[in-house]
Structure 1
Amino acid sequence: MIIVPESVIDYHRDAHIRAAVDSLLAGRRGTVPGDLSWEELGRFYDAVAAARRVQSDFARFLNDLWRATWQGVPGWKALPPGAPERSDMSVLVDNVWEWKCFTRGFKRDQRTLELSVSLDEDSVLQLGVALLDSRGRNILASAGLAGWQEEKSGGYLWTSHEITSLQSEIDAAHFAKWVKQALAAVQPVNR
């Protein structure tokens, strides 16, 4: 079972918390509330730190979910966290938060396999997969995986519906059939 941090659940279930966190994180780009007094500045900093904690908890949760679902791919070389294939695959907290997605890449010959987990603003948990050739084309796009949809830009395949709802604990077994199906589609290409 994967424990979902309370801050992540609160963010997804409470529109007021979500609005406050989003507003505070937007403030990182150089704005401070115009009506903030000097006496309130310390509490403002505490609130910003709490908002950053939501981001960090979110990235940690997606990392834990990825590890429990995908678990890696035999025969493929894992790319290190500090050297992503593309900038949108960065595992930096800000990047995972912005894209609402955690992706790990693997190399084999001239191909790159990308495996993702995502938790979007609508609290939908999904898996994503792409097997890219040396020119960046998704080899799996034409595989016809049942229950997977091709993304309009980028050719990524995503599970076409919510796998399980967001709750305090997530059972990785809910994802097993999807992982098995995606990795089975990769296997013929492994040869």
Structure 2
Amino acid sequence: MTAKPAPFHYRESLQAYFETSEVRFPVDQLLAKKMSFVPQAFTVGEVADFYKACLAARQTQIDYAQTLFDLWHRIWPDLGAGWDPAPYDPGDKELTLDPQVRWEQQYFQRSFDLKPKRLRANLWLFLTPSSPSGSEIELGCTLVQGTKWLLKKGSMPDGWSWDKDNEGFQFAADVAVSDNGLDLAPFAEAAHRAVSFIADFVRQ
């Protein structure tokens, strides 16, 4: 049994975004595309309010990107001795820390190499809104050797399901929230089972 993670709270802007559709909709609209409004159509006060809303939406986006990073490191354990962070690929634009990209892609991923066996493990975390309120975390992992994807549908850690699109495992659940913060224990325990499975697989 893994130790229960310390309490974790969403940042204020993100909490409001997940819990309130009246906040979520305008934030999504403000961040979805470039604005084509012209200042002649608004009063001075309306223009000021518009930019305040843009600033709040941008803050939500940056808080979201930071939270993805924080949650990944809270939930995924170390793979163990011999695994090193994979070199950064500047050609892979989807893995940049750019908050706009993280907001659009809705996940954070890290990859690790076990060089003696030419293995790469990819571990990711999605954070998405639930309907009508709340949030969902999805974990995923793949194991690759050269061009061969090694994980198979027939053998998976407890609680995980097969991710056909990525040829790996996935675990998803709504996030329970209380006054003590987010309950990350189910996700940390699932991540521990996946990492243990990978370790056993590698030893075979």
Question: Is TM (by shorter chain) over 0.5?
Answer: yes
Shift of 1:105: 1.1
8 Å CA contact 2:77, 2:192 repeated in 1: no
2:191 paired with 1:179: yes
Name whichever structure is richer in strand by fraction: 2
Give 2:78's aligned residue.
72
CA distance in 1, matches of 2:8, 2:164: 31
1:116 pairs with one of 100, 124, 131: 124
Q: Deviations over 1:5-29 (max 9, x none)?
A: 12112111111211100110023xx
Deviates further, 145-154 or 177-186: 145-154
Corresponding residue pairs, total: 186
CA distance in 2, matches of 1:150, 1:116: 15
- AA aligned to 2:64 is F
- Within 5 Å, give how 1:47-66 maps onto structure 2: 47-66=53-72
Percent of residue pairs bearing the same amino acid type: 26
2:42 paired with 1:37: yes
Shift of 1:175: 2.4
RMSD: 2.5
Distance change (3 Å), C-alpha of 1:85 and 1:133: farther
For structure 1, the 5+ residue unaligned runs are none
**Secondary structure of the residue that 1:102 maps to in structure 2?**
strand
2:196 paired with 1:190: no
**Secondary structure of the residue that 1:97 maps to in structure 2?**
helix
- AA aligned to 2:67 is F
Higher relative contact order (CA 8 A, sep 6+): 2
**Secondary structure of the residue that 2:55 maps to in structure 1?**
helix
Give 2:173's aligned residue.
162
8 Å CA contact 2:77, 2:191 repeated in 1: no
Larger radius of gyration: 2
TM-score (norm 2): 0.78
8 Å CA contact 1:117, 1:126 repeated in 2: yes
- Within 5 Å, give how 1:69-148 maps onto structure 2: 69-74=75-80, 75-79=82-86, 83=89, 86-109=92-115, 110-122=118-130, 123-135=135-147, 137-142=148-153, 143-148=155-160
Distance change (3 Å), C-alpha of 1:21 and 1:163: closer
For structure 2, the 5+ residue unaligned runs are 1-6
Shift of 1:166: 4.6
